Every structure is written in C-alpha cells, then in structure tokens.
Amino acid sequence: MFELDQYYKALEQKEINSPTTRMPLASWDIHMSHLVKEMNKHKDALELKRLLDKLDIDADPVSALLEKNAKVVVVTSPKLVIEYASSNLVEMSGYLPEEVLGNSPKMFQGPATDRDIAKQIRYNVEQKKAFEATLTNYKKDKTTYDCIIKGYPAFNKYGELIRYVAIEHAA
C-alpha cells in the first residue's frame, strides 16, 4: 500500500510541475461508433429477414438494401400499426425503434406535414399499391425533416395484404 501512495504522490507532483491535457481516444471512439453502426445494420437485417420469412415474404431484397445502405426500414400491419423499425431510425428521427412499435406512422406528422401527400399515401395503402413520396415529418425533439418514403405492400399466397414495408431516409 505504501508503494502505491508514493506512486500517486509522485504522479500528482509531476502533474503540478508539468500539466498535461487529457484527451479521449478520439480515433477509438470514431472506430467504435462505426463498428456499432455496422453491427446494428447486420442485426437489423437478420431480425427483418426472420420477420419477413415468418410471414412468407421474400426478405432478401429488403435485407440487402438495409445492410448496404443506411436506409430505415419500417414494417406495419395492414392497419398501419408499426410492428418493426430498424435501429437506425434513431439517427433519422430521434426515436428508438421500441418507442414507435404499436404506433401509427402518423406519430411523425405535424402541422408542417402536407395533408395532400399524406392523403395520397393513405389512398395508395387502401388500394394496396406501392408508393413513393416525400413527407415533412417531425423528430422526437419536434424539429422537422423531409422523409423520402418508398412503401411496398406484402401479400400472402392468397393475395391478401399482410404487411406494408417502407424504406425511408431523410432528404
């Protein structure tokens, strides 16, 4: 114990005589944040593939898109209840995926959202058609962003709509 006390005193004296600036390991931080993003993309792709396989929907194109790009994937029920959101949703909207599950995509809308575009999306969903639109959405902190959405209906073998898959990214 005595040796450690001497060590700490010597270290303290050295810092007093020649102050140093302590900095975080910035390159390590950057590397780790990139690594975590890559791991999340892979985890999201596997989770989405399991979900879509369970529903008997061809998951390969969607999973590949998710892994290769930083696009957000949202899967809803036919009644537009969010059942899945990829982890990179938080980067685009500020919401964690678990915060949006069970909600309607309308939770992202607000006063600046173009009601005509929202109605057009709703019409395409009701008609069971694919759509592409840019909609002003709201982040968790109430700031706006333009969201480019490509929505695709997913049907079962009987031709019944079972899910909507939306690929999204901020403009």
* pLDDT (tens digit per residue) in 62-111: 555 555 566 888 999 989 999 999 888 999 999 999 999 999 999 999 99
Q: Does the pLDDT of residue 26 top 60, yes or no?
A: no
Domain presence at residue 56: yes
The answer to whether residue 35 is domain-embedded is yes
Per-residue pLDDT tens over the stretch 116-138 = 999 999 999 999 999 999 999 99
The answer to whether position 92 is within a domain reads yes
Measure the CA–CA gap between 151 and 75, rounded to whole angstroms.
Answer: 9
Token readout for 106 is 């309308």
How many structural domains are present in the chain? 1
**Residue 23 domain flag:** no
With respect to residue 161, please indicate whether it lies within any of the assigned structural domains. yes
Please give the Cα distance from 27 to 142 (Å, whole number): 32
Q: What are phi and psi of 103, to 5 degrees?
A: -100, 170
pLDDT band of 154, cuts 50, 70, 90: confident
Angle at CA of residue 124, ends 49 and 139, nearest 5°: 65
The domain of 133 spans: 28-170
- Start-to-end CA span in the chain (Å): 60
> What does residue 69 show for φ and ψ, rounded to 5 degrees?
-115, 165
Type and span of the H or E element at 5? helix 2-17
Residue 22 in domain: no
What CATH number corresponds to the domain at position 166?
3.30.450.20
The per-residue pLDDT for 105 is 96
